A and B are shown apart, each in its own frame.
Chain A
Amino acid sequence: MLLLSIALTSIVGTIIPQNQNPADYYRAYGDFLYRLFNILGIFDMYHSWWFQFMLVLLTMNIIVCSIDRLSATWKIVFAKNPSFNLSRFRNLSQKETFSGNQPPNELKKSYEPFISRHFGYTKVEETEKGFCIFAEKWRWTRLGVYTVHLSVILLLLGGLIGSIFGFRGYVNIPEGEAVNSIRTMPSGKIQPLGFEIKCNSFNVSFYDNGAPKEYRSNLTILEKGHPVYKKDIIVNDPLRYKGYSIFQSSYGKMPATATPEKKTAVQKPSGKITLDFVSQQSGKSYRIQTVVGKPVEIPEGLGKFMVVAYKKKAEFVGQNIGEAYEGILTPQGGKPVEVLLPLRFPSFDRMRKGKVVISVVNQTTERSNPGSPAGVRYYTGLQVTKDPGVLLVYTGFIVMILGCFITFFMSHQRVCIEIIKGKTKSKVIVTGTANKNKMGMQQKVKRLSDQLADLTPGS
């Protein structure tokens, strides 16, 4: 089935990291595989033509199937006079039977209002042996499936609109300055905004253990130089203006006169790196000097560690955490793991909860030094997005939840209460069907039968 094949191919994308540096891919996969993967678009497979094609195929399939079946369902749902087939109810194997003291006519009089209170539609018919009360409810829930499918289509459509008309860009704004355009990713084009964003101030705070606590930018929106809107943004609380959303994304420090750098630069570090390795088991600390690319053996059999790169602006969960080394730790007999060592946060690696905690010694540069020269100020890194598809996607979300609920937990229920005239007593037979959850329906029929029996005392 198509659903499963999409699931299977999606797996590939989780195994091969997406949208990385081409050089890294080349090193990892070799010449042949690299070219093959590149042609197939596997390094960005969720945006490749064949993956998108599968999504389109899926959409077509849902639309075609649904329309195909919808016409039949439509007729059932919107029938003027729901038709009841007495013999079908008589043929049901599960019946609830009890006897009533009154004649069928009396019973009918007391049952009918009760039934019509609980069901949307009731109809009474005379039969050769007495009366028959038909009732039904929730006929429309047969459309639940189509609601779910509609929501899937809304999601895909919203995604499509977003990818065609939306964009995402980044901009760094020094405190006190304003910008009127952003650089979109991944194309790198300059996108004018039609208004200005001014960063009044930026603040960052940390917990005692070095983990970041809050990034806060105080922004003002300017239209033709006049402030029109002011807001503090933090992660999880973006500013929304004219269809644009402005998110807190990164930050940095800069000398008062310089302009902020636009791109993350990967630089060769200068010279030796001193690392501290603290064994969590023994609590002992080992100081070892190394350079990029030179593996070191960690004492106590804790494995090998190699610094592989220096980043001027490393990212952790989307946040700029400043200068950092990237390394690979290979525990003895274990899988290699990537380790990030930000210079500003020596206890950062404790978060990894490994057997050894690694930190960089004495590399704090002038930037992260609190006693740095005067005139250093922050800039805030903002992400600005415009996605006209979001509204459609969120509508799809709500429709999907409602649709699933209707489809799973509500059903079109029909009951038939047949009252048969006997010699002294009347016989009442209660039967019912539902288009889903038949076992649950049996219990409902039983309960209904008990309730009806209680309505006519003495029976």
Chain B
Amino acid sequence: MTSSILLSITTFIYGAAAVFYLAHWIFKKELLGKLGTWTALIGVAGNIGGIILRWVESYQMGIGHAPLSNMYESLVFFSGTLVIIYLIIERKTRNSIIGGFATPIAFLAMAYASMSPNISDRIEPLIPALKSNWLIAHVITCFLGYSAFAIAFGISIMYLAKQKDVQGTSNMLSRFPKAMVLDELNHQMIMFGFLFLSIGIITGSVWANSAWGSYWSWDPKETWSLITWFIYATLLHARMMRGWYGKRIAYLSIFGFMAVLFTYFGVNLLPGLHSYGSF
């Protein structure tokens, strides 16, 4: 079996996990939630297996490098970390409804990586600039941050839905965690994400300094990651100093995730260094 096939299968397993979690939420069957958890776990195993296999394959091809060097590989890594972080939250909160809002993101990311005609899943040799351990640290930390922000995004949507129904009349929403818990989780995920985004930008900057001789050159991707960082910093300040919470934080969190998406996908539409290749 090749890593591409294994990862394609993983995509469907994540899809199945998302369906189970959503069904668990809609039909209120505990069993479906359990099924979701086990499916997600199998998906993670496949995901990790796929990454390792791909690593081995690259060595067999004689161009060995960690599978973190292009759009496809980073999306695969992103999905894996997202589901792992989610499963940890599930264990801590003992609530598997959040799964219905987290695993679909992982499924979409994997599906986009495997199906999009713009993304190649071939293992390519590394051009000289990408041969750096700082790059590996950079990709890992950035995507840990992005996964946390993605989960915060899902939780924010849940929060906003829950807010709309103050009396608790809708029994679709009654099994969501309490609004306060969602708000707190959102905040925790954002702090976690912010720390890793900071480390991600820093390692990227150190890498740039060893490859191009400048730690910051205001290219669009760098600038957008800084913009994203500023948005989340604003969110943290609003919460810590102005005492913002709940709805406003949820909106800011959604807004921040849009910036993350743009940093990752949209920047390729802008002119600049990063725009030719996929990184």
Contact = CB atoms under 8 A, between A and B. Distances in A.
Interface stretch (A210-218, A373-381, A422-430): A210-218
A227 interface: no
- For the complex, would chain A's binding face be called helix, strand, loop or mixed by DSSP majority? mixed
Contacts of B132: 236
A71 interface: no
Interface stretch (B78-86, B100-108, B221-229): B221-229
Interface string B207-224: 101111111101010011
Contacts of B226: 7, 10
B218 A18 contact: yes
Nearest to B224: A14
A366 to B, nearest CB: 26
Contacts of A317: 127, 129, 273, 276-277
Interface in B250-279: 267, 269-273, 276-277
A14 B272 contact: yes
Interface stretch (A96-104, A257-265, A392-400): A392-400
Interface stretch (A122-130, A296-304, A401-409): A401-409
A213 B128 contact: yes
Contact of A168 (B181, B211, B214, B227): B214
A141 interface: no
Interface stretch (B7-15, B42-50, B198-206): B198-206
A184 B147 CA distance: 42
Residue from A11, A159, A383, A409 with most neighbouring chain B CB atoms (10 Å): A11
Contact of B216 (A1, A159, A400): A159
A6 B230 contact: yes
A14 B198 contact: no
A1 B231 contact: no
A10 to B, nearest CB: 5
A382 B198 CA distance: 31
Contacts of B131: 234-236
Nearest to B131: A236
Contacts of A283: none
Given A13-B223, A14-B220, A340-B276, A401 B199 contact: yes
A408 B191 contact: yes
A54 to B, nearest CB: 12
Nearest to B266: A14
Contacts of A351: 276-277
- For the complex, would chain B's binding face be called helix, strand, loop or mixed by DSSP majority? helix
Contacts of A15: 270
Given A4-B234, A400-B198, A404-B198, A236 B210 contact: yes
A405 B202 CA distance: 14
Residue from B131, B205, B210, B218 with most neighbouring chain A CB atoms (10 Å): B218
A215 B128 contact: yes
A410 B220 CA distance: 34
B103 to A, nearest CB: 25
Contacts of B227: 7, 10-11
A3 B234 contact: yes
Nearest to B227: A7
A455 B94 CA distance: 29
A316 to B, nearest CB: 7
A14 B226 CA distance: 11
Contact of A14 (B117, B209, B223): B223
B248 interface: no
23 contacts: A3-B233, A3-B234, A13-B223, A14-B223, A14-B224, A209-B124, A211-B124, A214-B128, A234-B128, A234-B131, A236-B128, A236-B131, A236-B132, A236-B210, A247-B211, A247-B212, A351-B277, A353-B118, A385-B213, A400-B198, A404-B194, A408-B191, A439-B181
Given A3-B233, A4-B230, A393-B215, 4 more contacts: A6-B230, A168-B213, A207-B63, A318-B211
